[in-house]
Amino acid sequence: MSGPDVPQVAPAVPPRRAAGRQPSMSDVAARAGVSHQTVSRVLNAHPSVREETRQVVLEAIEELGYRRNAAARALVTRRTATIGVVTSGSALFGPTSTLIAVENAARDAGYFVSVATTARWDTTTFTEALEHFMAQSVDGVVVLAANDDAVQAVRDFPSPVPVVMVGPKEPPGSRLHAVTFDQYGGARLATRHLVELGHRDVVHVSGPLDWLDARERALGWRHELRAAGLPAPTTVAADSWSADRGYEVGRELVRQGLPSSVFTSNDQLALGLLRAFAEAGVRVPADVSVVGFDDVDGSAHFYPPLTTVRQEFGELGRRCLSMLLDLLAGRTVEPGVVEARLVVRASTAPPRRAG
- Say if 351 falls within a structural domain: no
- Torsion angles phi and psi, residue 283, rounded to 5: -90, 130
Same domain, 87 and 23: no
**Burial grade of 354 (CB within 10 A; 0-12, 13-18, 19 or more):** exposed
- Of 59-68, 282-291, 344-353, the poorest mean pLDDT is in 59-68
Is the pLDDT reported for residue 352 higher than 50?
yes
Is the pLDDT reported for residue 12 higher than 90?
no
- Say if 349 falls within a structural domain: no
pLDDT in tens, 154-170: 888 888 889 999 888 88
Please spell the DSSP secondary structure of 239-289, one letter per residue: SSSSHHHHHHHHHHHHHH---SEEEESSHHHHHHHHHHHHHTT--TTTT-E
Alpha carbon distance 276, 270 (integer Å) = 10
Same domain, 230 and 258: yes
Domain membership of residue 27 as a residue range = 1-65
Same domain, 101 and 144: yes
Is the pLDDT reported for residue 151 higher than 90?
no
Same domain, 300 and 188: yes
Alpha carbon distance 52, 220 (integer Å) = 46
Same domain, 245 and 261: yes
Q: Please give the average per-residue pLDDT across 311-338, as a whole number.
A: 90
- Say if 74 falls within a structural domain: no
Q: Please give the average per-residue pLDDT across 289-309, as a whole number.
A: 97
Q: Which of 65, 99, 121 is the C-terminal boundary of a domain? A: 65
- Which position has the higher pLDDT, 176 or 4? 176
At residue 10, the pLDDT reads: 46
**Per-residue CA distances from 308 to 177, 194, 198, 346 (Å):** 29, 11, 18, 10
Same domain, 302 and 194: yes
pLDDT band for 9, please (50, 70, 90 cuts): very low
Paired residues of 85 in beta bridges: 115, 142
Same domain, 298 and 327: no
The per-residue pLDDT of the chain, averaged, comes to 86
pLDDT in tens, 91-115: 788 888 989 999 998 888 888 899 9
Same domain, 84 and 170: yes
DSSP character at residue 165:
E
The whole-model pTM stands at 0.75
- Which position has the higher pLDDT, 152 or 17? 152
- Which position has the higher pLDDT, 210 or 353? 210
- Say if 249 falls within a structural domain: yes
Same domain, 172 and 319: yes
At residue 85, the pLDDT reads: 92
- Torsion angles phi and psi, residue 319, rounded to 5: -65, -40
Alpha carbon distance 300, 279 (integer Å) = 20
Domains held by the chain: number: 3
Same domain, 132 and 216: no
Same domain, 194 and 173: no
| CATH, residue 202 | 3.40.50.2300
- Which position has the higher pLDDT, 131 or 45? 131
- Say if 350 falls within a structural domain: no
At residue 294, the pLDDT reads: 95
At residue 246, the pLDDT reads: 97
Count other C-beta atoms under 10 Å from residue 298's C-beta.
Answer: 10
pLDDT band for 257, please (50, 70, 90 cuts): very high
Is the pLDDT reported for residue 7 higher than 60?
no
